Amino acid sequence: MTVAVYPGSFDPATNGHIDIATRAAAIFDRVIVAIYDRPAKNLLFTTEERVDMMAKALAGLPNVAVHSFSGLVVDLARRSGAKVIVRGLRASADFEYEFEMALMNRKLAPEIEVVCLMTSVEYLFLSASLLKEVAVLGGSIHNMVPDHVASALRKKFLR
């Protein structure tokens, strides 16, 4: 059985993240979507909110679990019996960062492979940070996030 971990901040889950998780679930026996508890970023949503939104989005996939975690991704992968770390790749900007991180992870855990799935073209320019900028200014985020994420964003920004 091949277990894969798909780590990220997911602040919040976008259709781009959901697409990668769904495609990973079709390749690997079990996928753990692992949500960084405290990434080196300013977050809009709490860990619990990010886990709940992602879990709801992926509820239809029986081989996917959503958990929060802290510490190194490779440690989580080892604890979970995962041999693969999945990441999503958009354009060249992601590549540099993902390449660097993949090589570091290989140094830390040579037995674990990083597998990058290419974004679907409709999500090529979709990022959680840009999405939040559009949402805070009241722009349409239709087709970028599931409905429950869109209403969570509206609630946050109405406060």
Q: Are 21 and 100 in contact (CB under 8 A)?
A: no
State the Cα–Cα distance between residues 5 and 123, nearest whole angstrom. 21
Q: How far is the CB of 86 from ligand ADP (least distance, A)?
A: 8
- 3: amino acid identity, one letter: V
- Class of residue 5 by CB neighbours under 10 A (exposed 0-12, middle 13-18, buried 19+): buried
Q: Among residues 1 and 40, whose Cβ is nearest to ligand ADP?
A: 40
In DSSP notation, 24-70 reads HHHHSSEEEEEEESS-SS--SS-HHHHHHHHHHHTTT-TTEEEEEE-
Strand partners, 68: 35
- Considering only the stretches 13-21, 48-56, 57-65, 71-79, report the one whose residues sit in contact with ligand ADP under the rule CB under 6 A: 13-21
Q: Does 37 bind ligand ADP (CB under 6 A)?
A: no
Beta bridge mates, 31 = 4, 64
Contact flag: residue 88 with ligand ADP (CB under 6 A): yes
- Interface characters, 63-82, with ligand ADP (x: CB under 6 A): --------------------
Q: Which of 16, 51, 83, 141 binds ligand ADP (CB under 6 A)?
A: 16
Q: Binding of ligand ADP at residue 128 (CB under 6 A)? A: yes
Instruction: Tell whether residue 127 is a contact of ligand ADP (CB under 6 A).
Output: yes
82 Rama sector, left if φ>0, alpha if ψ -120 to 50, beta otherwise: beta
**Binding status of residue 126 toward ligand ADP by CB under 6 A:** yes
Q: Is 1 or 121 the residue whose CB approaches ligand ADP more closely?
A: 121
Contacting residues toward ligand ADP, per CB under 6 A: 8-10, 14, 16-17, 20, 39, 87-88, 90, 94, 119, 123, 126-128
